[in-house]
Amino acid sequence: MSATALNTPPSSRPIVVTHGGAGADARDRDGCAAAANAGMQSLRDGSGALQAAVAAVRVLEDDPRFNAGTGSVLRMDGVTVEMDAAVMDSQGRLGAVAGLRRVRHPVQVAAAVADTPHWLLCGEGALRFARHIGAGDHDPVTPQALRKHQSMLEKLRRGERLVHGEDNASFAQHWNYPTPLAVAPGQACDTVGAVVRDAGGHYAVAGSTGGCAPALLGRVGDTPIIGAGFYAGPAGAVAVTGIGEHIVRHLLAHTVHGWMADGMPLDDALRRALTLFDPAIDIGLIAVNASDSGACSNRDMPWAAAEGAQ
Ligand code: ASP
CA 34, chain centre distance (Å): 17
**Nearest ligand 1 atom, CA 282:** 8
User: What is the rounded CA–CA span in Å between residue 252 and residue 39?
Assistant: 24
Amino acid identity of 1?
M
Distance 297 CA to ligand 1 centre (A): 13
**Do residues 83 and 100 touch, judged by C-beta distance below 8 A?**
yes
Q: What is the CA(23)–ligand 1 centre distance, in A? A: 10
Using the atom order of ligand 1, give the atom closest to the CA of residue 243: 4
Please calculate the CA angle 22-289-20 and round it to the nearest 5 degrees.
Answer: 20
Query: What is the pLDDT, as a whole number, of residue 11?
Result: 66
Span from the CA of 93 to the centroid of ligand 1 (angstroms): 22
CATH topology classification for 2-307: Glutamine Phosphoribosylpyrophosphate, subunit 1, domain 1 (3.60.20)
**pLDDT by residue, tens only, the chain of 310 residues:** 444 556 665 667 999 999 999 999 999 999 999 999 999 999 999 999 999 999 999 999 999 999 999 999 998 888 899 999 999 999 999 999 999 999 999 999 999 999 999 999 999 999 999 999 999 999 999 999 999 888 777 776 666 766 677 777 777 788 888 887 765 544 567 899 999 999 999 999 999 999 988 788 999 999 999 999 999 999 999 999 999 999 999 999 999 999 999 999 999 999 999 999 999 999 999 999 999 999 999 999 999 999 998 6
pLDDT of 161: 66
Predicted confidence at residue 5, as pLDDT, reads 54
- In this predicted structure, what is the pLDDT of residue 293? 98
Report the distance separating Cα 60 and Cα 106, nearest Å: 11
Query: What pLDDT is recorded for position 309?
Result: 85
Query: Do 39 and 179 form a contact (C-beta atoms < 8 A)?
Result: no
Residue 116 is a catalytic residue: no
Residue nearest to atom 8 of ligand 1 (CA): 190
Say which of 70, 80, 142, 191 is annotated catalytic: 191
Pick from 191, 250, 301 the residue to mutate for probing ligand 1's pocket: most ligand atoms within 8 Å of its CB: 191
Ligand 1 atom nearest 244 alpha carbon = 4
C-alpha–C-alpha distance, residues 292 and 181, integer Å: 48
What's the confidence (pLDDT) of residue 158? 67
Report cis status (omega within 30 of 0) of the bond before 265.
Answer: no
Which atom of ligand 1 lies at the shortest distance from residue 84's CA? 9
d(CA 276, CA 213): 23
Pocket of ligand 1 (CB under 6 A): 21-22, 189-191, 209, 211-212, 221-223, 229, 241-244
The ranges assigned to domains in the chain are 2-307
Which residues are registered as beta bridge partners of 284? 241, 297
* Alpha carbon of 68 to ligand 1 centroid (Å): 10
Q: Give the H or E element holding residue 307.
A: strand 303-307
Protein residue closest via CA to atom 9 of ligand 1: 211
Q: How far is the CA of 94 from the centre of ligand 1 (A)?
A: 19
In three state form, how does the secondary structure of 223-234 look? CCCECCCEEEEC
